[in-house]
């Protein structure tokens, strides 16, 4: 979900401040995400009816839109975490009719691979204007590409995502995955309308998730091609104004338990140290049944921090998460502390291992966590 908001910040900053030197890591960027909607853009201001595979495609009337995959892969004893984001930022909401190099949107794609065995965090990104044949997305279904990086639907099924294929050829590694959904789509918030601020109903997005996909493919790293398999998580979101200026950052959790339960929860931290009441999540059963989690349902506590040697910023890399109503008590611990994206923006996003109890029964699992605004 908001994971991609880091990408939002990046592009917003880029578009608004090209040519100037900024130390963006010191900015929260929330105020930029909370830009007032401009004339001509559609708003995520009410629930809508979703239609698939159409809604996997691009929604050109909105200012921002992203496609986001995270996952945990293994090749024998070797473990990897990964995250891939395709982000679209629209400059002019009017339909472009001129074609050619003329572009109304900018694309940003980011990929990160956590090589746990070697404690290496590899990242790569691409920036591109939206030009046919180079970067863009289909309006009919899932087919997103940014300068050769591509996420597309290989098998289409009505109402569902079908199967996906991911192709990434990054600076230091490449990643090729086939992704098969194991569960139905989950519409977040109110039937897919996800409010991001308790104070301002205009700050919302359309948001759905595919909480568990079986992943198979290859990771090519250091000249070695590894056959990998594992599980992934797919998020989709689009909006025109998503966050409130009072918000300082967010902590987002996507937990996949080995007993086939999933949990998504994000807490929006306010400038005054409090938590926005719009913070919310879902609990998904093995059968795909969804239970909404409200702000008050989840208790989160950071239990250990890691300090960036570059900026000195401390990031919470171990968490305690309790959901009393579910009888769920979890401990989340980063597979390696340094999973910090460093660039114009700094944010921590990485794989964690999960252990705990569900109704007093021991559970284990994995999670992806995004921490911004620190």
| Residue 133 binds another protein, judged by CB under 8 A | yes
Q: Mark the segment that binds another protein (CB under 8 A) among 9-17, 48-56, 77-85, 273-281.
A: 9-17
211 to 217, 239, 254: CA distances (angstroms) = 19, 21, 8
CA distance linking residue 312 with residue 28, whole number of Å:
16
Q: How far is the CB of 173 from another protein (least distance, A)?
A: 11
Q: How far is the CB of 66 from another protein (least distance, A)?
A: 17
Q: In this chain, which of 14, 214, 353, 358 binds another protein, going by CB under 8 A?
A: 14
Q: Mark the segment that binds another protein (CB under 8 A) among 65-73, 131-139, 233-241, 359-367.
A: 131-139
Q: In this chain, which of 62, 68, 121, 149 binds another protein, going by CB under 8 A?
A: 149
Q: Which is nearer to another protein, 83 or 128 (CB)?
A: 128
Q: Give the rounded distance of the alpha carbon of 331 from its chain centre.
A: 21
Q: Mark the segment that binds another protein (CB under 8 A) among 71-79, 123-131, 182-190, 286-294.
A: 123-131
The interface with another protein within residues 59-98 (CB under 8 A) comprises 91-92, 98
# binding residues, another protein (CB under 8 A) = 34
Helix/strand/coil (H, E, C) string of 85-148?
EEEEEECCCCCCCCCCCCCCEEEEEEEEEEECCCCEEEEEEEEEECECCCEEECCCCCEEEECC
Residue for token digits 């040697």?
A: 309
| Residue 36 binds another protein, judged by CB under 8 A | no
Q: In this chain, which of 27, 124, 138, 165 binds another protein, going by CB under 8 A?
A: 124
| Residue 18 binds another protein, judged by CB under 8 A | yes
Q: Which is nearer to another protein, 12 or 367 (CB)?
A: 12
Q: How far is the CB of 101 from another protein (least distance, A)?
A: 4
Q: In this chain, which of 31, 45, 104, 163 binds another protein, going by CB under 8 A?
A: 104
State the burial class of residue 99 (Cβ atoms within 10 Å of its Cβ: 0-12, 13-18, 19+): exposed
Q: Which is nearer to another protein, 38 or 190 (CB)?
A: 38
Q: How far is the CB of 244 from another protein (least distance, A)?
A: 23
| Residue 344 binds another protein, judged by CB under 8 A | yes
| Residue 128 binds another protein, judged by CB under 8 A | yes
Q: How many residues does the chain have?
A: 374
* 8 A C-beta contact, residue 70 and residue 81: yes
Q: In this chain, which of 27, 42, 126, 333 binds another protein, going by CB under 8 A?
A: 126
The interface with another protein within residues 206-265 (CB under 8 A) comprises none
- Count Cβ neighbours within 10 Å for each residue of 6-43 and write b for 16 or more, e otherwise: bbbbbbbbbeeeeeeeeebbeebbbebbbbebeeebee
CA distance linking residue 2 with residue 285, whole number of Å:
23
- DSSP one-letter string for 8-60: HHHHHHHHHSTTS---GGG---HHHHTPPPPTT-----S-----TTGGGS--T
Say which DSSP state 318 is in.
E
Q: How far is the CB of 355 from another protein (least distance, A)?
A: 37
CA distance linking residue 230 with residue 81, whole number of Å:
10
| Residue 151 in tokens | 């996420």
Q: How far is the CB of 36 from another protein (least distance, A)?
A: 15
CA distance linking residue 22 with residue 14, whole number of Å:
10
CA distance linking residue 24 with residue 346, whole number of Å:
8
Q: Which is nearer to another protein, 82 or 208 (CB)?
A: 82
The site for another protein (CB under 8 A) is made up of 14-16, 18-19, 21, 91-92, 98, 100-104, 106, 124, 126-129, 131-134, 145-149, 169-171, 343-344
């Amino acid at each position: 979900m908001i994971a991609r908001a880091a990408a939002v910040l990046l592009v917003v900053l880029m578009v608004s401040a090209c040519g100037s030197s900024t130390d963006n890591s010191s900015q929260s960027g929330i105020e930029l995400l909370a830009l007032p909607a401009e004339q001509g853009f559609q708003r995520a201001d009410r629930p809508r009816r979703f239609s698939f595979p159409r809604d996997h495609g691009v929604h050109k009337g909105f200012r921002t839109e992203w496609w986001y995959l995270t996952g945990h892969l293994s090749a024998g004893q070797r473990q990897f975490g990964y995250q891939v984001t395709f982000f679209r930022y629209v400059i002019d909401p009017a339909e472009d009719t001129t074609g050619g190099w003329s572009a109304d949107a900018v694309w940003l794609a980011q990929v990160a691979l956590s090589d746990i065995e070697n404690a290496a965090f590899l990242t790569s990104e691409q920036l591109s204007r939206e030009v046919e044949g180079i970067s863009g997305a289909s309006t009919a279904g899932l087919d997103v590409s940014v300068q050769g990086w591509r996420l597309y639907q290989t098998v289409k099924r009505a109402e569902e995502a079908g199967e996906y294929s991911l192709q990434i050829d990054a600076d230091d590694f490449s990643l090729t995955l086939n992704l098969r959904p194991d569960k139905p789509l989950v519409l977040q918030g109110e039937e897919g309308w996800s409010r991001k601020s308790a104070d301002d109903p205009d700050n919302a997005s359309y948001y759905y998730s595919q909480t568990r996909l079986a992943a198979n493919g290859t990771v090519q790293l250091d000249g070695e091609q590894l056959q990998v398999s594992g599980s992934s998580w797919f998020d989709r979101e689009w909006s025109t104004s998503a966050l409130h200026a009072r918000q300082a950052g967010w902590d987002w959790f996507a937990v996949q338990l080995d007993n086939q339960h999933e949990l998504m929860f994000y807490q929006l931290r306010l400038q005054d140290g409090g938590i926005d009441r719009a913070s919310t999540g879902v609990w998904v059963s093995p059968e795909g049944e969804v239970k909404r989690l409200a702000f008050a349902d989840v208790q989160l506590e950071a239990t250990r921090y890691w300090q960036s040697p570059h900026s000195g910023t401390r990031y919470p890399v171990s968490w305690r998460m309790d959901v009393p109503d579910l009888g769920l008590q979890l401990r989340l611990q980063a597979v390696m502390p340094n999973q910090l994206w460093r660039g114009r923006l700094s944010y921590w996003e990485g794989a964690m291992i999960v252990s705990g109890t569900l109704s007093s029964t021991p559970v284990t699992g994995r999670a992806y966590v995004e921490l911004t605004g620190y």
